[in-house]
């Protein structure tokens, strides 16, 4: 008889539990993408662009920003410009501040060693007004021509 993964899962309930737990961890994720920045350097004019296809205009979403930074990043926060281009035309632009360290200087993100990963909640109950492809562009807005210490940034949408 051939041994398959299913046979192992049936014979080992603990393994089945682990597989189910990993499958359920991100059940609400709708979109999650981050882009790397070469050399942990982010020039002011370089936008990170994300395209999200929306078919459901009724369902609300939660919106997060993902930020990965080195422990040598010299600020306790980061400002972003978020530009959203709508299907069929039109756009909006927001300025968003994300805290990366507590008042005592301790990093808020997960990780040890050189890098910290942050998933920062921005807003709940976002509804997209039209079906189609939305383009979201992130720019760093830290008043530095080249921001040093940010290695990745991205967006995450979760279904509510």
Q: Is residue 100 part of a domain?
A: yes
Q: Is residue 129 part of a domain?
A: yes
pLDDT band at 151 (very low <50, low <70, confident <90, very high): very high
User: Quick one: average pLDDT of 120-148?
Assistant: 96
Q: Which two tokens stand for residue 108?
A: 């808020």
Lowest mean pLDDT among 9-13, 71-75, 79-83: 9-13
pLDDT at 160: 85
pLDDT over threshold 90, residue 10: no
Residue-wise pLDDT tens digits, 51-63: 999 999 999 999 9
The full 3-state SS of the chain, as one line of letters, equals CCCCHHHHHHHCHHHHHHHHHHHHCCCCEEEEEEEECHHHEEECCCCEEEEEEECCCCCCEEEEEEEEEECCCCCCEEEEEEEEECCCCCEEEEEEEEECECCCCCECCECCCCEEEEEEEEEEEECCCCCEEEEEEEEECCCCCEEECEEEEEEEEEEC
Q: Is residue 63 part of a domain?
A: yes
More confident call, 23 vs 109: 109
Q: Is residue 16 part of a domain?
A: no
Count of domains forming the chain? 1
pLDDT over threshold 90, residue 21: no
For residue 137, the domain's CATH number is: 2.60.120
Q: Is residue 51 part of a domain?
A: yes
Q: Is residue 56 part of a domain?
A: yes
Residue-wise pLDDT tens digits, 78-115: 999 999 999 999 999 999 999 999 999 999 999 988 99
Q: Could you list the residue range(s) of the whole structural domain that residue 34 is in?
A: 27-159
User: Quick one: average pLDDT of 117-127?
Assistant: 96
Q: Is residue 3 part of a domain?
A: no
CA nearest neighbour of 119 among 26, 6, 13:
26
Give every strand in the sheet of 150-159, ordered side by side.
Answer: 29-36, 150-159, 61-70, 115-126
């Amino acid at each position: 008889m051939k041994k398959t993964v299913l046979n192992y899962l049936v014979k080992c309930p603990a393994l089945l539990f682990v597989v189910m737990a990993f499958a359920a961890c991100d059940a609400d994720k709708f979109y999650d993408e981050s882009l790397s920045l070469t050399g942990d350097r982010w020039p002011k004019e370089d936008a990170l662009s994300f395209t999200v296809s929306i078919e459901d205009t009724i369902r609300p979403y939660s919106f997060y920003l993902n930020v990965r930074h080195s422990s040598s990043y010299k600020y306790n926060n980061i400002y972003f410009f978020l530009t959203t281009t709508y299907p069929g035309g039109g756009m909006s632009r927001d300025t968003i501040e994300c805290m990366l360290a507590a008042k005592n200087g301790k990093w808020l993100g997960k990780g040890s060693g050189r890098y910290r990963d942050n998933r920062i909640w921005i807003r709940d109950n976002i509804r997209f007004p039209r079906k189609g492809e939305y383009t979201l562009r992130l720019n760093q807005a830290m008043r530095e021509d080249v921001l040093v210490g940010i290695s990745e940034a991205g967006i995450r949408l979760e279904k509510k």
